[in-house]
Chain A
Amino acid sequence: MPAGATADGRSIALPPSLSPEDIARSQDRFRVYNARRRGSRWLVLWLLVGPGILAMLGENDGPSMISYAATGAAYGIGFFVPFIVITFAMAFVCQEMCMRVGAVTHRGYGQLVLERFGRLWGWFAAGDLILTNLVTLVAEFVAIRVGLAYFHIGAAVAALLGVLLVVLTLSGGRYWRWERIVLALAIFNALFLAAAILTGPSWGSLGRSLVTFSPLPGGGLNTLLLLVASTIGATVTPWMIFFQQSASADKGLTPTDLRQGRCDTIAGAVGATIFGIGALVAGAALFAHGGSQIDGLAGAGFPGALARVSGRLVATLFALGLIEAGAVAVLTISASTGYAVGECIGAPHSLNGSARGAVAFFGANAGAALVAGATILIPGVPLLAIALNANVLATVLLPVALVFMIVLASDRELMGQWSNSAVRNRVAISIVAFISICGAAYAIDSFLQIVHVV
């Protein structure tokens, strides 16, 4: 038998069937087991949180924050504040299913779709994901570029920083290490909240809008539909589904951990809601000025516009927030690309593995970041349009991914006692219908306008 070691350094004999990936995951489970045995609830929670917070805060990404700020600048504090709360409540329902399916089956979303529905559907799912991920990754690099541009740092540095971050975090060789680094970065999503507070918003208006969903947005229908679809795409997306299920399996969650997994997902949703509203409120400082000062960087120059209206500190916090939002999302979205490719071609796909043993997983992870980073070096790229349309594309492709997730989570053969209840299914199907209608409304209205039918 080969020699191995537990997390406390004990030397043990291992059966030949254990791979290095199994050993790494087993060491993480050993710590959870010990914490539970000692009755340390908070330590158990600390050890098990991660995928939910990362999926939710990862989705508070560059394009999402730009989209929220654009909404605030266009409509002020009003309907979209409670709308963000609703979209994150929807995100919780979807992501809880992902966590549960990952913890019960120990398999990623792509692998399950491929095995349960066949290769064609598996490749469709992976194809959708790779397409939306590449577009979204470009938008993440756009956010890093917009943030760095405020400090007079160029696009080449933004691209290099993003790619280097992916490569460096991947070189840790352990899921746990990768997860903790990204979690530490994700905390800085709170910068948007700080920026919002410093703009001196009217708390009364904020409270009223949360309760009354008013004032309702005015202006053109198509812009409104774009921002509704974009806001949905800023909270629930295909990559989150792939990421949280695969990360839950990679982390080694089991059905015993479902309560902590739900706490993790709720914590992520609450944090993301507060910070997302923060970005909207910060952007709303530009509302009184008609949002017209957002002219730099092809319409995405929020930090520069905020500097003129709310001062340099707010602008600096917003710019740093954009860099953080883009960086965290580059890491999580690249990881979801790697998981999807690895799962669909049946190659090793774990952050607990080595780059040499999982070439496809690590290659797709870094390759996606490299392609997206290179794209922002193209001069004259319309940054705000890319950021908003990345979210819209995610919204229109999301219903298919969600339907498969609902079917998997309801599959009693697969999930046993942890399968979806009838009530959960009704709620989840209502969410799919709502997202489909919002995505379709924008796509059809825009298309008919472009071809001059309306």
Chain B
Amino acid sequence: MREPPHTAAMDDHGHYLEPDQLLAERSRPLPRMALSSRARAGLWALRVFSVLLSAMVVYVFVVQLGR
């Protein structure tokens, strides 16, 4: 991939950032992604699964500490 050509904007503005690299642009929120109900259910299932496993790991760790 090649460096984009030198533009007049670079000289005029004295900066070498892409427009969407500027802080003002990066702070502009992006639109929400449209998730299907199946995708949402999948994310929640994964979330519950990871919380349950974390709880098990923490519980085992705490019990082992007490021994």
Contacts and interface: CB of A to CB of B under 8 A. Distances in A.
B3 A33 contact: yes
Contacts of A427: none
A36 interface: yes
Nearest to B39: A407
A124 B53 contact: no
Contacts of A26: 14-17
B58 interface: yes
Given A14-B15, A22-B17, A258-B1, A403 B46 contact: yes
A171 interface: no
Given A14-B13, A389-B61, A393-B57, A400 B3 contact: no
A9 interface: no
Given A21-B23, A25-B21, A29-B17, A400 B46 contact: yes
A19 B23 contact: yes
Contacts of B18: 106, 254
A33 B35 contact: no
A14 B11 CA distance: 10
A121 interface: yes
Contacts of A32: 16
A399 B50 contact: yes
A40 to B, nearest CB: 12
Nearest to B23: A19
Please tell me the size bucket of the interface on B. 35 or more
B21 A106 contact: yes
B60 A447 contact: yes
Contacts of A25: 17, 21
Interface in B23-50: 23-27, 29-33, 35, 43, 46-47, 49-50
Contact of B65 (A107, A116, A346, A382): A382
A443 B55 CA distance: 9
Given A18-B22, A106-B26, A396-B54, A385 B16 contact: no
Contacts of A36: 3
Contacts of B46: 399-400, 403
B50 to A, nearest CB: 5
A295 interface: no
- List 9 tightest A-B contacts by C-beta distance, closest first: A12-B14, A29-B16, A26-B15, A396-B53, A447-B56, A443-B56, A446-B60, A443-B53, A36-B3
Interface of B: 1-4, 6, 13-18, 20-27, 29-33, 35, 43, 46-47, 49-50, 53-54, 56-61, 63-65
22 contacts: A13-B14, A14-B15, A26-B17, A37-B6, A106-B26, A112-B30, A115-B32, A116-B32, A117-B32, A124-B47, A128-B50, A393-B57, A440-B53, A443-B53, A443-B54, A443-B56, A443-B57, A446-B57, A447-B59, A450-B60, A450-B63, A450-B64
